[in-house]
Amino acid sequence: MRTMSPAEYVRHVREREAESEGDALSSVRRIIEDVRANGDEALCRYSRSLDGVDLAPRDIEVTADEFEAAYRAVDGTTLEAIRTAIRSVEAYHTYAAGPAVRSLRAWFDGEVIDGTLMGRVSKPVRRAGLYVPGGRNPYVSTVVMTAVPARVAGVEEIIACTPPDKDGRVDPHILVAAREAGVHRLFRIGGAQAVAAMAWGTHSVPKADVVAGPGNRYVALAKRLVYGVVGIDSPAGPSEVAVIADDSADPGLISADMLAQVEHGPDSIAVLFSTSGRLMGEVSARLKQKEPRREAQMLSVLCRDLEEAVALANETAPEHLQIVVDEPLRAVAGVRCAGAILVGYYSPAAVGDYVAGPSHVLPTGGAARFASGLSVETFMTTSSLIWMGPNRYKKAADAAVTLAMVEGMPCHAESLMYRLQVGGSVGGEREAKG
C-alpha cells in the first residue's frame, strides 16, 4: 500500500482525472457508428472479433427454453438469496423514491398556491435498457440493482444486455435473476456494441429510452457518447472505495474491506484516510501479507484530523465512502459528495453490493460531484405543471410583458397582453380551488 501526504494525494487525484482517453474513445466511437449503420451484422462481427463468440442474428436474444433450463440449474439456496436481495432493494427504492412514486400512483403531485395549481407530473420511460457486466463472473447483483428500480418506477419494458461465455451461453444465475427482477428480454451482447444497440436499436435489440448499468472503461465511454440519443444513469467505470478510519478501527476489518473493493478488477482502487499512523501501518502489513500483487491499487493518507480526512474524501468524490470512526455523524455532516456513504462496522461496501437496499450502480471517477447513484428517478421523466387562473394572471402579466419587451420579444408581449385586453371573455377559466 502506497502512502502519500495530503498534498501528494490531491495531485494524484488531479492527474487521474486528466488521464487521456485517446485510443479507447476513438475505438468506442467507431463501434457505435458501425452498430448504428449495420445493426445485427455489426453486433455479430464484434462478438466474434472481441469476445471470440460466433453468433448469428437469430442467436442474439436469449430464448424461453434457456430461461427454463436456468431455473433447473440454480440451487434453491441461491434462488432464495436472489429473492432476498430483490425484496430488500425493492423496499428501499419504494421508500426512497417518495414524491416520484406518489406522483406515479396519484398521477400528479402538487398544490394550489394563490389561485394557481403548481406541481409535477412524473411518468416512467417506456423502455429501459440495462447493461450487466459479464465475462469473468456472473454479476447477479447488478441485475437486481438495475432491474428492480426500473420495475418500481413502472417501466413498461425492461431489456438487458450481457456478454456470454466463450460458448455463447449466458450464466444461468444471470438468467434467473433477470426473470425474478422483472427483465422482459435479455440479449447476449457485451461491450460498447451493446450500449450502441440499446441506444439506436437494431433488428434484434429494440431501442431504449434510458441505458443504465456499470461496465468497463469502454462501456462507460459508450454511455457518455450515446447520451442525448438516450438518457443514461451516470458515468460508472472502475470501482473505488475511500475509507475514513481513526485509531478505534480494527485493522483487519479495514484491510478486508479494501481488498474486497479491488477484487472488482485491476483498475479498481481503494484509499485509506486515517488520523492514526499505527492503524495505517497495521493495515499495510496485512495487505502485503494477504494480497501483495494488489498493493499498487491501494493508497493511504495520514491526516492531521477528521476534518482533513473528510476534505480529502470530498476531493475524491468516491463511489463508496466508508466511515469507521468514534464520531461517525460528525464525519457524515461534512461529506459533500460520494456515491454511497456507509457508516460503521456493519455497513461495508460489500453489503451494499448485494442486499443493503440502495443500488450499487454509483458514479465513479469523481462523477459523484455532479451525478447520483441509480434510482427510481433514473427511469422517470418529470414535467412541471402549472394551471394559472385569471386573478393570479393579472398580478403576474405586467412584469412578464416588461421582461418580454426588454428581451426584444414583442410577440411574447402581445400574447400576454391579449389576455389582459379580452379579460374574462375567453376560456371560461376560473381560479383553481384545490
Catalytically annotated residues: 319-320
Q: Which long-range contacts (CB under 8 A, 24 or more apart) does 19-27 make?
A: 21/221, 24/217, 24/218, 24/221, 25/221, 27/192, 27/218
CB 90: neighbour CB atoms within 10 A? Answer: 18
Determine the 3-state secondary structure of 212 from DSSP. Answer: strand
Q: What is the rounded distance in angstroms from the CA atom of residue 295 to the CA atom of residue 306? A: 25
- What is d(CA 106, CA 388) in angstroms, rounded to the nearest whole number? 21
Helix 22-51 vs helix 191-200: crossing angle, to nearest 10: 100
Q: On the CB side of 301, how many CA atoms lie within 13 Å of its CA?
A: 27
Cell numbers for 275, please give them.
488520523
Contacts 24+ apart (CB under 8 A), 44-52: 46/191, 46/193, 47/189, 47/193, 50/191, 50/193, 51/135, 51/163, 51/164, 51/166, 51/190, 51/191, 52/166
DSSP helix/strand/coil, 5: coil
The answer for 383, left when phi > 0, alpha when psi is -120 to 50, beta otherwise, is beta
Instruction: Determine which helix (DSSP H) or strand (DSSP E) holds 403, and give its type and residue range.
Output: helix 390-406
Answer for the pair 124, 154: CB distance below 8 angstroms, yes or no: yes
Query: CA 317 to CA 204: how far, in whole Å?
Result: 39
Residues 366, 17 contacting (CB under 8 angstroms): yes
Residues 125, 129, 130, CA angle at the centre, nearest 5°? 125
Rounded distance, CA 188 to CA 139, Å? Answer: 14
